[in-house]
Amino acid sequence: MTRKTLILGQTLGFHDDPFHAAIDDAARYDAHGGVLVENGTITAIGSADTLRRDHPDAAITDMGRALITAGFVDAHVHYPQTAMIASWGKRLIDWLNSYTFPEESRFGDAAYAAGIAARYFDLTLANGTTTACSYSTIHPASVDAFFAEAQRRGLRALAGKTCMDRNAPDTLRDTAQSAYDDSKALLNRWHGRDRLSYVITPRFSPTSTPGQLGALGALWAEYPDCLMQTHLSEQTDEIAWVNQLYPDARDYLDTYESHGLLGPNGLYGHAIHLTPREKDRLREVDASLIHCPTSNTFIGSGLFDMAGLTARGQRIGLATDTGGGSSFSMLRTMAAAYEIGQLNGSALHPAQLYWLATAGSARALRLDDRIGNLKVGAEADLIALDLASTPAIAQRSARANDIWESLFPTIMMGDDRAIAQVWIKGKPL
């Protein structure tokens, strides 16, 4: 039997990319709108009155003045760093050695990994994130834990075994061969199963030998429909380290490119300190750059050039970078992206921020045909935002002249209290 649910409220989706189209043309807003969901899929969007008239048999969920949108899409996270988020006071390399690597060493314990995976999804769903793309650890059990928990909850999720064969503790090193073998086995076990996608995952060039990068490049060539994720040009001292480790490389990106790890399905986290050649090559292959603003400020990495890169037509997603990032909230992440834009001399419009956290990140993950937007045929992973969730937000939103003035205080000051409801494939949590 077809199950119809009509979710009513203010609605917001996108016809186009608001970085390349006028805001009013790019966004689709209805002050009295509705979303019709049938068997987990969006089948109609429009005015509440029209949808009520055309679908009198639908069950009604009336969210009042809440804003109904696609759920947030977090394009770069490290779920194993959940327990040590907001660890004090280190630059990237010291931070990895002091906090990250000791914690990740625990994930060979399948029970521990399962417990952290459950906690991670509890926290992110409470903050309105319905899809995440995560690094795991070198342990296959860490990948199994993440995917098993996502599968149990019916989530769309992406992840991969993090591969490292040097410059890491003995407890976190694999080899070129085991990285290839483990990754291939996990890919065959999980990729395309239910709503899950495997992502080939070299952590970054300093923790992989050329042999390991080459092995993972060979694996990607075998499975080109898979995504590949890694880190690129996050900090200046990291780049100097890469130059020492790969003296023959033209630049940081070349350490990946020369080993078969540059392509349209590549996800390159941070990408702050790019050379002109790197920018050109990333755009030529239509790779995705993932902006992690709370991490960039927390670890002192630098300012991502959103205006310059979007002007070049670069594909860009937004992410919390959980662990290095200091919040599980994509609202806080949007706020940080706005602040970094201001420091770089470009004020991001609320529509651009919200697009990055939903349709833009889905596009970066090559999933914009399925998630990240209110559109017919998309999977009904939805959230309802309370635009008056705290007294401070409510008093500012009450003075708003349009939806953007109403939404912006929640972007800048909102937290999990703003998430009035979450639906996964149309089912309320």
Computed over every residue of the chain, the mean pLDDT equals 96
- Residue 29 or residue 85, greater confidence: 29
Judged against a pLDDT cut of 60, whether residue 1 lies above it is answered with no
Whole-angstrom Cα distance, residue 332 to residue 371? 21
Mean pLDDT of 143-170: 97
pLDDT (average), residues 263-290: 98
Environment class of 395 (CB within 10 Å of its CB; exposed 0-12, middle 13-18, buried 19+):
exposed
What is the mean pLDDT of the segment spanning 91-117? Answer: 88
Element (H, E) at 265: none
Report CA torsion sign: 334, 369, 155, 427: positive
Residue found under tokens 């490389």: 249
Residue 37: helix, strand or coil by DSSP? strand
DSSP calls for 289-353: EEE-HHHHHHTT-----HHHHHHTT-EEEE---BTTBS-S-HHHHHHHHHHHHHHTT-PPPHHHH
3-state SS assignment for residue 380? coil
User: Which residue type is seen at 400?
Assistant: A
- Higher pLDDT, residue 90 or 328: 328
Average pLDDT over residues 21-39: 97
The per-residue pLDDT for 199 is: 98
What pLDDT, on the 0 to 100 scale, is given for residue 96?
A: 81
Residue 13, CA atoms < 13 Å, CB-side half-sphere: 22
pLDDT for 163 beyond 70: yes
Task: Please give the average per-residue pLDDT across 387-400, as a whole number.
Answer: 97
CA dist., res. 259 & res. 201, Å (int): 14
d(CA 291, CA 278): 16
Q: How far apart are CA 337 and CA 318, in angstroms?
A: 9
Can you tell me the mean pLDDT for 343-366?
A: 97
pLDDT at 87: 80
Say whether pTM exceeds 0.95.
yes
Write down the pLDDT at residue 6: 98
The per-residue pLDDT for 352 is: 98
Higher pLDDT, 3 or 336: 336
Phi, psi of 62 (to 5 degrees): -100, 110
Q: What does the alpha-carbon distance between residue 42 and residue 20 come to, in Å, rounded to a whole number?
A: 26
Q: CA-CA distance, 374 to 60, in Å (whole number)?
A: 18
What domains appear along the chain, each with residue ranges and CATH number? 4-71+373-428 (2.30.40.10), 72-364 (3.20.20.140)
What is the pLDDT averaged over residues 308-323? 96
CA distances from 43 to 49, 255, 273, 379 (A): 16, 45, 43, 9
Please tell me the distance from the alpha carbon of residue 311 to that of residue 309, in angstroms, as a whole number.
5
Q: How confident is the model at residue 197 (pLDDT cuts 50, 70, 90)?
A: very high
Residue with tokens 């979450």: 422
| Confidence grade of residue 393 (pLDDT, cut at 50, 70, 90) | very high
299: pLDDT confidence band, cut at 50, 70 and 90?
confident
**Average pLDDT of the segment spanning 386-401:** 97
pLDDT band at 147 (very low <50, low <70, confident <90, very high): very high
What is the band of 324 on the pLDDT scale with cuts at 50, 70, 90? confident
Which residue from 288, 290, 293 is spatially nearest to 314, judged by alpha carbons?
288
> Residue 178: which pLDDT band, with cuts at 50, 70 and 90?
very high
pLDDT band at residue 94, thresholds of 50, 70 and 90? confident
Average pLDDT over residues 217-243: 97
In the block, which residue shows the tokens 């429009």? 46
Decide if pLDDT at 212 tops 60: yes
* pLDDT category of residue 123 using cuts at 50, 70 and 90: very high
Give 411's pLDDT tier (boundaries 50, 70, 90).
very high
CA distance 303 to 77: 19
Is 32:403 a contact under the CB 8 Å cutoff?
no
Stretch 38-49: mean pLDDT = 98
